[in-house]
Structure 1
């Protein structure tokens, strides 16, 4: 079985870095800075999509400059203002021991995703780390998943996505696990879904 993992909110708790960089950008552009609890929805979607909502339709000229300022801090500091969720490393190791092939599929820019995966020594678990380009190419999760399946020659019926339900459905995925509220239960959830799939 091939298993695709989302990154933000699934493998790592990236809230501090993302929130700090959003604040940095919003303050620079003299825009209202939302409270942390009002930024939770920004974990996962493409950053340009997030800023389009944060900035609002009255200032579309600020969408891309806001992203540029965000990345200014993110690439230097914010990228490592995160931590691996509890039990994720054990989960990945057990899945690898069971013979599953794992990949990262994130809307985050691929260059950042690879740095994070390597920094936390998770690269040994993944056959590939896949994300968007800085220009927004493959930021759409459905397009990204299709790209991974094509590049890795993976039949759609042999893949399980762990991440966002909405984006998995858009990609035509039949089997997926949404981001758990308590990441320590991820292993049991994955094993249950795989068992049900194998029994079908």
Structure 2
């Protein structure tokens, strides 16, 4: 009897790539374009992982949907411009990320996926810059789902791959990722190098790792070593 397929779903910003510089710069541009005070850096990084409309609503709850929509457009314009100027330096891969992806992709029993608050356009541009096209068999983006922590991205990824919840793991750096995993009935592994405090992740994750070299052991603990 063949082993069950496992699905590993990665968040992107703060998990695979460090995009905080461009995120903060683009949020600053978005608020500045509409003449509103820029939120503190910690507040901006605290909403990473949410879809942009939800992020704007949380950062500027006193403003209406029309203003939020204008901020979203200004943010996207700034982010695209920064990416065009900086290239791959716009969102560098974290140390060990590429090796971890390659190792998991080489396993016959593991499928890789993405569940991200990025748009389709943003994810495609990122994958092109890092040569990651074809690495993931399922790619869930903000264009087609409610914002995290709604479980839609995870549920759709499982439906596309045919993998059961018990064999599915979400890896992310934010509370929203871990809450999304819980809502979908799957496992969550937090990463300690991202944008939300480790203490917040520990309350919701099966484990929190501090480097990609710790990921195989964390997955073994969930699935059972050698299972």
TM range (shorter): 0.7 to 0.9
The secondary structure found in structure 2 opposite 1:63 is helix
Asked if 1:194 is matched to 2:219, the reply is: yes
Alpha-carbon deviation of 1:4?
A: 0.5
The whole-number CA distance in structure 1 between the counterparts of 2:211 and 2:105 is 17
Map Cα deviations across residues 45-75 of structure 1 (whole Å, 9 max, x no partner).
1111111122222444311111111112223
Report what 2:178 is aligned to. 165
Report what 1:54 is aligned to. 59
The whole-number CA distance in structure 2 between the counterparts of 1:154 and 1:110 is 23
Alpha-carbon deviation of 1:2?
A: 1.4
Structure 2 portions without partners, runs of 5+: 1-5, 195-208
Alpha-carbon deviation of 1:3?
A: 0.6
CA contact (8 A) 2:191 2:211 kept: no
The secondary structure found in structure 2 opposite 1:57 is coil
- The structure where strand makes up a greater share of residues is 1
Structure 1 portions without partners, runs of 5+: none
Report what 1:176 is aligned to. 188
Alpha-carbon deviation of 1:129?
A: 2.3
- Superposed CA RMSD in Å reads 2.3
Q: How many residues align?
A: 196
Asked if 1:149 is matched to 2:158, the reply is: yes
CA contact (8 A) 1:2 1:160 kept: yes
Report what 1:110 is aligned to. 120
The secondary structure found in structure 1 opposite 2:117 is strand
Report what 2:69 is aligned to. 64
The whole-number CA distance in structure 1 between the counterparts of 2:125 and 2:138 is 13
The whole-number CA distance in structure 1 between the counterparts of 2:107 and 2:161 is 20
Could you tell which deviates more after superposition, 73-82 or 164-173? 73-82
The secondary structure found in structure 2 opposite 1:8 is coil
The whole-number CA distance in structure 2 between the counterparts of 1:176 and 1:137 is 19
Report what 2:198 is aligned to. none
The whole-number CA distance in structure 2 between the counterparts of 1:11 and 1:101 is 16
TM-score normalised by the chain length of structure 2: 0.77
